Amino acid sequence: MKHIRFIATALAALFMLGSCGKTDEQPQQNVPEVSADNIYQFKVADGNGDSVSLAQYKGQVLLVVNTATRCGFTPEYTDLERMYETYKDQGFTILDFPCNQFGSQAPGSYDDIHNFCTETYNITFPQFAKIDVNGSNASPLYVWLKEKKPGRIPWNFTKFIIDREGNVVARFDAQTSTIAAVENAIVNQL
């Protein structure tokens, strides 16, 4: 009887260990390649669910970022807004895509997320509808971004810099990059 309890306890522990650290994302399967020459060929959903062409940002330096409101990196909104205010008159824009795939850290509706970001961090840059960045439901924009700068999105606040011609020129993962490095890369494109 002790052996059965030991085995049951061991199996339960293994199950718990196997589920730790997993994200809410779907496995990367059947994700089609996206054929696009630049970011301007994409349309995304705004907070109302309406389709918005990214061609409206043609000629600007863009920072595309997947965000979350309950993440350890959420305070980066302060730095993002500061950069936006500093460089927007030089042709710089941030495109914010909330994503709930990592630890369910972007819960709620678009209005919940947007209100939190504007009230807490006073953001004024464009914020779009919530998306997936990995897996079979990944936004075509993010499929394309990852084709240009390969690798799965590891967590919230992964940043892609787009030059004035609409090309991906840099990628920064929040866990391994500093805001200063991101800002320097933006300045180099301006």
Q: For the chain, list the domains and their CATH numbers.
A: 25-189 (3.40.30.10)
Q: How confident is the model at residue 36 (pLDDT cuts 50, 70, 90)?
A: confident
Comparing CA positions, the residue from 124, 146, 135, 145 lying closest to residue 42 is: 145
- The token pair at 123 is 């953001």
What is the rounded average pLDDT of the residues 74-83? 96
Angle, vertex CA 71, rays to CA 135 and CA 173, nearest 5: 60
Comparing CA positions, the residue from 108, 150, 106, 166 lying closest to residue 132 is: 106
Q: Are strands 159-162 and 43-45 parallel, antiparallel or unpaired?
A: unpaired
Q: Answer whether 45's CB lies under 8 Å from 51's CB.
A: yes
Active site members: 71
Angle, vertex CA 114, rays to CA 34 and CA 146, nearest 5: 20
pLDDT tens per residue, range 136-171: 999 999 999 999 999 999 999 999 999 999 999 999
- The token pair at 22 is 């997993």
For the chain, what is the mean pLDDT? 85
Placement of tokens 């464009």 in the chain: 126
Choose the weakest-confidence range: 7-11, 20-24, 127-131, 177-181. 7-11
Comparing CA positions, the residue from 42, 64, 66 lying closest to residue 54 is: 42
Helical H segments across the chain, by residue range: 2-19, 76-87, 110-121, 140-148, 179-189
pLDDT higher than threshold 60 for residue 48: yes
Instruction: Please tell me the pTM assigned to this model.
Output: 0.82
Q: How confident is the model at residue 40 (pLDDT cuts 50, 70, 90)?
A: very high
